[in-house]
A and B are shown apart, each in its own frame.
Chain A
Amino acid sequence: MAYIEMSQVAKTFAASGGSLREVLSDVSLSIGRGEFVSILGTMGCGKSTLLKILAGLIAPDAGQVTIDREVVRGVRPSAAIVFQNYSLLPWFSALENVRLAVGAAFPDWPRDRQRQQAVRHLESVGLGHAIDRRPGQLSGGMRQRVAIARAFAIEPELLFLDEPFGALDALTRDSLQQELARLCSVAGRPITTVMITNSVEEALLLSDRILPMTAGPRATLGAPVAVELAKPRSASELLHDDHAAGVRAHVIATLTEDLARSRSITRSGLQQAGQVRLTASAKAPASLAEAERRRKANGPAVNTTLAAEGEG
């Protein structure tokens, strides 16, 4: 039995006007200990709901989740969650925000040690100079760094990331992605990570496996794709790599096919859009010079973001 097992989970929400909206139906997945898995889908496909169910923030209507053979009924002590909107408490400084988490996770530690733990983790994300600032006095990137420090400060075995870099500008996003990969690798113990994202490149950069998610309502997961590349990876390396190109093509094809099938939009238009992307990224370059030339021609098309047809 895998470390995380989700079997036949369904979730329905009451939509406006009293009607019901089935967001997830019959979703199953399994994740091994120490694995980094990305769930990739368009906006509004229900992947956030899926993550909240995995993390124990909300309960499924049907099916169940087990982690380490235990049925999930609430957030586990060994789990940390990072949200897209940082979720810091604005009346506390960066240090106090992290300390609150440390204090709750390690109530038996003396106050000094709790404080040191918080400071050390803020320093490890490069915020040693800003520990006394409040979230309102920090940039978006810095706030997300605090949130990441808070997540790692409780020394989690499980990390749930809900579009952690979605609200950041491209440059900040790149550096924070690298930071996250580094923190996972230096943790010294396996951290099982589930990340929600709508960026294929982000998923390629960080994950061992990508689970494409079909568009909701009634979302389910497509066939998983393994990313068999050595870590750490770099964005430019991924652009030229054959294996990455194959994974990218597969994932995009799964998602765009599904989009065209599940929505009553003009089919040809979508397939065209899909093909344009595929030709731009799927064909592997013949040589390094060729790749360089193509990269210049294409511009910085690093983040192949699937933001189409958002439903909020």
Chain B
Amino acid sequence: MKRAVNAVLPATGVLLALIFWWAVSTMVKDLPSPLKTWEESKVYILKPLEKRGEMDQGIALLAYYSLMRVARGFLLGIAIGTPLGFLLGMSKTLTRVFDPIMQVLRPISPLAWLPLGLIIFQKSEPAALFAIAICSMWPTVINTMAGVRAIPQDYWNVAKVLRLSPFTTFAKVVVPATLPYMFTGFRLSLGIAWLVIVASEMLTGTPGVGGFLWQEYNSLIYAHILLAILTIGVVGFVLDRLMGLAEARLRAI
């Protein structure tokens, strides 16, 4: 009984959203209805790995390109963000040096970073990575920093009493104690990286879900826009769930 309710309630939500979508589509001339969207985009979903042209590819392939780009940008972001977080967490002086810069850089939109990336790197691919990395690293920096600051005095005392070397203290005490915070940062960073990918693909016109979306808008195939939007949502949701699982495993320790 409870299991049935658990299945029915979310399904009801989806159904209501579809009805709302359909209702709006009867009022807005250019907005395709759910059924029309399915009709026009089923080839992308039913043959997800088929490659027919640069942008005209199965949805799984497009999502794969975007994911690879996100993965690289995200890894670059946390590769910079994590050490920065540790440094800022351990040194109050460094925090005071970098805090104003961080507070100013943090709210800048990916759309603003991208042109700068294009100027610096001259190519769209590294510019996209630059934008993803610089936008997505902040939650990792801030959470890692908070994690280091939250290490109980007890653990620092253990390091002092056992006379652990700075390296051992870092590897055996600081990193494990900070890991749960770090992962929360990674999860938030990945979420942002996925948000940024669409914008950067739209602006640079590279193949991927965002590039596809923009091209289909220019080609006036509105059903495909909806397909791309739904894909972005579903992939983002799955990513967040996966990171959530990894995080939960860490916290269980």
Contact = CB atoms under 8 A, between A and B. Distances in A.
B157 A100 contact: no
Nearest to A79: B161
A130 interface: no
B160 A83 contact: no
A130 to B, nearest CB: 17
A278 interface: no
Contacts of B165: 104
Nearest to A103: B168
A91 B180 CA distance: 12
Interface string B148-177: 000000110110111111001000110011
B157 A83 contact: yes
Given A83-B154, A85-B154, A104-B168, A91 B176 contact: yes
Interface string A73-108: 011010111010101111110000000110111000
Nearest to A80: B161
Contacts of A74: 160
B177 to A, nearest CB: 8
Contact of B161 (A57, A85, A90): A57
A75 B253 contact: no
From DSSP, what is the main secondary structure of chain A's interface residues? Answer: loop
Nearest to B176: A91
A89 B161 contact: no
Nearest to B172: A100
Interface in A110-146: 134
Contact of B164 (A55, A85, A91, A104): A104
Contacts of A105: 162-163
Given A85-B154, A87-B154, A91-B253, A104 B176 contact: no
Tell me which of B155, B157, B161 has the highest count of chain A C-beta atoms within 10 A of its own C-beta.
B161
Given A89-B172, A89-B173, A104-B168, A75 B161 contact: yes
A298 to B, nearest CB: 38
B163 to A, nearest CB: 5
B253 A100 contact: no
Interface of A: 55, 57, 74-75, 77, 79-81, 83, 85, 87-92, 100-101, 103-105, 134, 154
Interface of B: 154-155, 157-158, 160-165, 168, 172-173, 176-177, 253
13 contacts: A55-B161, A57-B160, A75-B161, A81-B157, A83-B154, A83-B157, A85-B154, A89-B158, A90-B253, A92-B172, A104-B165, A104-B168, A105-B163
Given A91-B176, A105-B163, A134-B253, 5 more contacts: A57-B160, A89-B158, A89-B173, A91-B177, A101-B162
